[in-house]
Amino acid sequence: MFKAILFDLDGTLLNIDMEIFLQYYFAEMINAAQENGYQHGKKMAEQVFYSTNLMINNLSPVVLNEEAFMGDFLPRCKYPENEVRTFFDDFYQQRFPVLKVHCHPFPGIAEMMQGLFRRGFKVVIATNPVFPREAIQQRLEWAGIGDHPYALITSYEEMHFCKPHVEYYEEICRRIGATPYDCLMVGNDVGEDLPAGLIGMKTFLVEDMLIDNEQSGLQPDWRGKISDMIDFMKKL
């Protein structure tokens, strides 16, 4: 029925409340900035937020998300590029791991993922590519599914588009050599994950940590709890 299964990460494969998590994330970033001699750590973190929003809305097919972010962030933070990149590399390698305490693996997800790979599905980690690969890989490890040969992990170094834009889903199809009709998108966010259906993908909405902020009116092909999703995957 499907050749490729696309999974959102946060709230779908990993038990994490991103609204709460991001508060700790930015607090950790502010502390790291101040400890590294940046006097305006709070302003730096605020600019990360603003530049991320600009990146999300960038629709240029020739500008990677990382390039869109840095192109806005660097002129505004007024620090040398090599210094900024070193700061972020160190932050994600040394400080980001402490945030693990704010999330937990979902029971059954690791076994589900093993089963999908054993049966030959292409599996994509279709998380919104606003983070570098290091931060996504760590969250996959926290979910207990970090060691699989995924067809694609959508990081900001890899992708030109973000959710909820349909161009994001079209880019995934091109990258993995599949049509939308070959793909199932699984996620917990109506506004970000269900737009995959607009290009012909089938969708499964996970309701345990449901996000429906925009009242978009989009409807999934299937919906249910994480236990229902796991059972669904067994029947594919």
Q: Please check whether residue 74 is in contact with residue 33, taking contact to mean a CB–CB distance below 8 angstroms.
A: no
Domains of the chain, by residue range, sit at 4-16+104-235, 19-100
- What predicted TM-score, i.e. pTM, was given to this entire model? 0.97
| Residue-level pLDDT, tens digit, the chain, 236 residues | 899 999 999 999 999 999 999 999 999 999 999 998 887 889 999 999 999 999 999 999 999 999 999 999 999 988 899 999 999 999 999 999 999 999 999 999 999 999 999 999 999 999 999 999 999 999 999 999 999 999 999 999 999 999 999 999 999 999 999 999 999 999 999 999 999 999 999 999 999 999 998 777 899 999 999 999 999 999 99
- d(CA 28, CA 19) in angstroms, rounded, equals 15
Q: What is the pLDDT of residue 216?
A: 78
- Residue 12's CB is within 10 A of a number of other CB atoms, namely 27
Distance linking the first and last C-alpha atoms of the chain? 7
Q: What is the pLDDT of residue 78?
A: 82
- d(CA 200, CA 51) in angstroms, rounded, equals 31
- d(CA 202, CA 196) in angstroms, rounded, equals 7
DSSP structure class, residue 138: H
What DSSP letter does each residue of 38-63 carry, written as one string?
-TTHHHHHHHHHHHHHHHHT---TTS
Q: What is the pLDDT of residue 213?
A: 81
Q: What is the pLDDT of residue 40?
A: 82
Q: Please check whether residue 55 is in contact with residue 130, taking contact to mean a CB–CB distance below 8 angstroms.
A: yes
Q: What is the pLDDT of residue 136?
A: 99
Rg, Å, the chain Cα set: 18
For 185, the enclosing helix (H) or strand (E) is: strand 183-187
Phi, psi of 212 (to 5 degrees): -145, 65
The domain over range 4-16+104-235 is classified in CATH as 3.40.50.1000? yes
DSSP structure class, residue 106: P
DSSP structure class, residue 134: H
